[in-house]
Chains A and B, each alone.
Chain A
């Protein structure tokens, strides 16, 4: 830079190194008319006489100015005035807004009284800023925030350069300008504000390997692209180990330990196992020794889906990636092995309608065809008919019918009784149930027995008389 200035005609001995605050520098510049070159700056640009790649130059200038929140000196040759560079930069700058984070964040502090009215003249100082978790010294020395009188806010337009990703606590203090106002206003103690500085974490050197347990030699090794989708298909048995490793670095190059770094293996039966990845410096690594994990895995062999989740509150690109699957071959479970925990049943399946049941009727027994049964019926009736016909032909044998009254009545009653029993049968078939039938039969039976005994004894005595006579 100095050489360029000398080349353009600056006197060689007219250089001073000054270190002062903003107000003094302002005065110097206005009064003495010198050129001020600041020491700390980001991407100075010197645009020479050759005008080319205007679009790219405009884009870079815009990026550096806003997205990186700080661009200091730039020198531009007058040839560039004729190009569209300035107009393009103007357009690019105009579209930047804080809402979509295309502008670098500016820390603003608004101070008012407890009841909401405006505060008197005061200045806000950033006293300390330290990373939460580290007890180390503050990363920024006491710095006063600039005051924007238009919007009535105090702002810090650029965070200190050493602020990396993470959670910080910024400690602010209010200092009243007018010492008399200390009697009217109370400023309270220092205010501590948690600030989350987020950014994109770079993931490098991701690889997964299957190692042999005893020898430590690598059987399969694959590079992973954790930014995109990967579909792995590995296989291992219980004598091997699985190693997954990657590196995480912050934008400023430091090592980063996220809050969440899990590796999940999910079996086909939905049984899951989670492992936390450990780190040493930037390197994150996990080695799963299947020999020791056989019991933890409930001796379940089969396909396990691998899922890697890395996330943190300050990581803008937290991700959950399905890495693929691994076929694990584990030995058979022994007798007393613990069973895997029961998996929850899907509630929608639990409550569905049941399958319909229709009753299957017994097939009726095979019956002979109608004609055969009728024919058989006729055959059965035939002997009976024949019997009746025979009776008629022979004539009813009424000779032995007793003639005298008393035995005759008994005989008639006997015949009536038999007829009654027969009609009882018919009634039973048609209407009665067994109990009433048996009751009636009981009475009839006794009656019949008495009558029949008398009749038959009478007959027997008459025939005995005939024989003896």
Chain B
């Protein structure tokens, strides 16, 4: 009987250790749920899964129609990321459905979604909620008669070799992907009203999306560079979503195969697929491009403490430190375009901060001659980086300064005084 409270206590004390997954101090995800259409995908895509596991992720493989799947229990999420490699699932059994997946993303967690030819409506709807519209004809594939990959076995030009990547070092890594990426599947377009979704791998201008076995009578809806093969979304709560139209793009077969684009004489021994999907998965799971800003400091020039108020025309100094998460630790973030605004309903001063190349950003300026309550605001949004949004308020004082003004002030008071004296003496 005495043992029970003891075990309970030890269990309680161990609880904090269990909860060291996703926290703002350690943003890399740890536990990932992988949903598959059939377990053969686990071995046919083993290189991709292994690359995730060697980076420290715990993968939990489940069939998509497993009724035991649950994303959260008692309000706590069990996983930090979700990989949906189940393009043909019509309906999730268990507690998972479209709303649950969207809630998962809304809570700030990440998602990798792969559709394919003949995807189900459920997968298309999830993608549509993220701002990505797949071709309405489910049996359509991306066909490119000029940018196709030369292959010994496929002759209908549905295996496309694409090298139109997004220009972003943070999303695709600093080393350039030399070989084109092999893709065989369905294409999608991005909703132009959505400002958060970005095309990472696009199709060439001669590509179109159609059923290769039937003749075209109407022009296809997706044509040319408007077709996106892989897109990402960086949501406002910093959740990251990757949507791809081909499950084969992640498969061992295409990861290991060589590639030669039709019409070009460059023959690559290994396609760019492995580098592409590995670097992109690093970005999606927050191993790159996740920023935080700490230690905001502001003071008058020459002092070190933060005053409660400033006077007009004071010289003000402001500094902030920005760090980037690189998978295991926070490293100083180096850039030359971080800007601060001195803001009261609209920015009065907007300055680019200078940096000491070690993550410290600073600047100095004169306080404007407008009275009121101001804020130091940093709104930093760059392609592929989480957005930084800081605001620090301070007061402004009414006092003016300046010698010439004082003379007229003195005059005013002296006149008042003398008038008073005169009137009361008489």
Of B190, B192, B198, B407, the residue contacting A377 (CB under 8 A) is B407
Task: Contact check, A313 vs B218: say whether CB atoms are below 8 A apart.
Answer: no
Q: Provided the pairs A348-B383, A356-B350 are in contact, do residues A320 and B198 lie with their beta carbons within 8 angstroms? A: no
Q: B350 and A422: CB pair below 8 A? A: no
27 A-B pairs in the complex with CB atoms less than 8 angstroms apart = A196-B155, A259-B212, A259-B215, A260-B145, A272-B224, A275-B219, A276-B217, A276-B219, A313-B212, A342-B192, A347-B166, A347-B383, A348-B167, A357-B341, A358-B349, A358-B351, A359-B368, A359-B369, A361-B366, A364-B404, A367-B404, A367-B405, A380-B411, A380-B418, A381-B414, A383-B422, A422-B420
Contacts of B365 in A (CB 8 A): 358-359
Q: How far is the CA of A383 from the CA of B424 in the complex (A)?
A: 15
- Dominant SS at the A interface? mixed
In the complex, the answer to whether B218 meets A344 with C-beta atoms within 8 Å is no
Q: Residue A429 at the B interface, CB < 8 A?
A: yes
Are A422 and B198 touching (Cβ within 8 A)? Answer: no
B155: nearest chain-A partner, CB-CB: A196
| Chain B residues with CB below 8 A from A274, complex form | 219-220, 223
Quote the shortest CB–CB distance from A113 to chain B (angstroms).
22
For the A-B complex with A313-B156, A348-B383 known, give 8 more contacts whose Cβ atoms are closer than 8 Å. Answer: A167-B156, A257-B215, A262-B223, A312-B145, A313-B155, A319-B146, A361-B368, A384-B421
A348-B383, A357-B349, A362-B369 as given contacts; A276 in contact with B156, CB under 8 Å: no
- Over the window 190-227 of chain B, the binary record of Cβ atoms lying under 8 Å from chain A Cβ atoms (1 yes, 0 no) is 10110100110000011010101001111110011010
Q: For the complex, give the distance between the alpha carbons of A342 and B189 in Å.
A: 13
Mark interface residues in A347-377 (1 if CB within 8 Å of B CB, else 0). Answer: 1101111111111011010010010011011
Task: Give complex CA distance A345, B191 in Å.
Answer: 11
Considering the complex, which residues of chain B in the window 250-277 have a beta carbon less than 8 Å from any beta carbon of chain A?
A: none
Question: Hey, which chain B residues are within 8 Å of A425, CB to CB?
Answer: 416-417, 420
- Measured CA separation A426–B413 after assembly (Å): 9
The verdict on A384 contacting B418 (CB below 8 Å), with A274-B223, A353-B352, A373-B411 known, is yes
- Answer whether residue A418 sits at the interface, using C-beta atoms and an 8 A cutoff: yes
Kindly state the separation between the CA atoms of A418 and B425 in the bound complex, as whole angstroms.
9
| The one of A194, A272, A350 that contacts B155, using a Cβ cutoff of 8 Å | A194
Q: How far is the CA of A105 from the CA of B129 in the complex (A)?
A: 50
Q: A162 an interface residue at 8 Å Cβ cutoff?
A: no
Flag whether B415 is at the interface (Cβ < 8 A).
Answer: yes
Instruction: Give me the interface of B with A, judged by CB distance under 8 Å.
Output: 143-146, 155-157, 166-167, 190, 192-193, 195, 198-199, 205-206, 208, 210, 212, 215-220, 223-224, 226, 313, 337, 339, 341-342, 347-352, 365-366, 368-369, 381-383, 402, 404-405, 407-408, 410-411, 413-418, 420-422, 424-425
Q: Give the distance to chain A from B219, nearest Cβ to Cβ, in Å.
A: 4
Do A196 and B349 contact each other (CB < 8 Å), given the known contacts A260-B208, A313-B212, A320-B205? no
Instruction: Kindly provide the distance from the CB of B348 to the nearest chain A CB, expressed in whole angstroms.
Output: 5
For chain A, the bracket of interface size reads: 35 or more
Contacts A276-B219, A320-B205; is A311 near B417 (CB within 8 Å)? no
Q: A315-B145, A350-B195, A356-B350 are in contact. Are A381 and B418 (CB under 8 A)?
A: yes
How far, in whole Å, are A426 and B418 apart by their CA atoms in the complex?
12
Closest 5 CB pairs of A and B: A311-B145, A196-B155, A318-B145, A359-B368, A274-B219
Tell me if A422 and B417 are in contact (CB < 8 A).
yes
B208: chain A residues within 8 A (beta carbon): 260, 262
- Quick check: A259 and B216 within 8 Å, CB to CB? yes
- CA of A387 to CA of B423, assembled, Å: 12
Closest A residue by C-beta to B189 = A344
Distance from B34 Cβ to chain A, minimum over Cβ atoms (Å): 29
Residue ID in chain B nearest A361 by CB atoms: B369
Chain B residues closer than 8 Å to A276, beta-carbon distance: 216-219
Whether A343 sits at the interface, judged by CB under 8 Å, is: yes
Closest chain B residue to A310, Cβ basis: B145
Bound-complex Cα distance A376 to B408 (A): 10
Residues 271-285 of A contacting B (Cβ, < 8 Å):
272, 274-276
> Shortest distance in angstroms between B260's beta carbon and chain A's nearest beta carbon?
11
B residues in contact with A136, CB < 8 Å = none
Indicate if A309 sits at the interface (CB-CB under 8 A).
yes
Partner of A422 from the list B155, B167, B421 (CB cut-off 8 Å) is B421
Query: Which residues from A are CB-within-8-Å of B407?
Result: 370, 373-374, 377
| A341 contacts partner chain B, Cβ-Cβ < 8 Å | yes
Picked from A264, A311, A342, A354, the residue with its CB within 8 Å of the CB of B146 is A311
Of A344, A351, A355, the residue contacting B350 (CB under 8 A) is A355
Cross-chain contact B216 with A377 (CB below 8 angstroms): no
The distance from the CB of A459 to the nearest CB of chain B, in whole angstroms, is: 15
User: Given A259-B143, A341-B192, A356-B350, is A264 in contact with B223 using a C-beta cutoff of 8 Å?
Assistant: yes
Q: How far is the CA of A307 from the CA of B224 in the complex (A)?
A: 11
Q: Are A320 and B223 in contact (CB under 8 A)?
A: no
Contact residues in B for A354 (Cβ distance below 8 Å):
339, 350
Q: Which residue of B has the minimal Cβ distance to A316?
A: B262
Interface pair A259/B219, CB less than 8 Å apart: no
Report the nearest B residue to A362, measured CB to CB: B369
Residue numbers in A under 8 Å from B420 (CB-CB): 422, 425
Q: Which of A214-270 contact B (CB under 8 A)?
A: 257, 259-260, 262, 264
B410 touches A377 (CB 8 A): yes
Residues on B with beta carbons closer than 8 Å to the beta carbon of A384: 418, 421-422
CB distance from B316 to the nearest CB of A (A): 11
User: Nearest Cβ in chain A — how far from B306, in angstroms?
Assistant: 21
Closest chain A residue to B335, Cβ basis: A353
Tell me the smallest distance from the CB of B310 to a CB of chain A, in Å.
13
Separation of A354 and B418 alpha carbons in the complex (Å): 56
Give chain B nearest CB distance to A375 CB in angstroms. 11
Question: B194's closest neighbor in chain A, by CB?
Answer: A344
Q: Which A residues are CB-close (under 8 A) to B220?
A: 274
The residue in chain B whose Cβ has the minimal distance to the Cβ of A195 is B155
Query: Could you tell me the distance between the alpha carbons of A384 and B366 in the complex, rounded to whole angstroms?
Result: 43
Contact B408 A196 (CB under 8 A): no
- Residues of A within 8 Å of B193, CB to CB, are 342
Which residues does chain B contribute within 8 Å of A350, judged by CB atoms? 195, 383
Which A residues are CB-close (under 8 A) to B143?
259-260, 313
Chain A 403-420: CB-based contact to B (< 8 A → 1; otherwise 0): 000000000000000100
Which residues on the B side are within 8 Å of A373 (C-beta)? Answer: 404, 407-408, 411
Minimum distance in angstroms from A411 CB to a CB of chain B: 14
**Which B-chain residue is minimally distant from A275 (CB atoms)?**
B219
Among B146, B195, B350, the residue within 8 A (CB) of A357 is B350
CB neighbours of A260 from chain B (8 A)? 143, 145, 208, 210, 216
Chain A residue nearest in CB terms to B339: A353
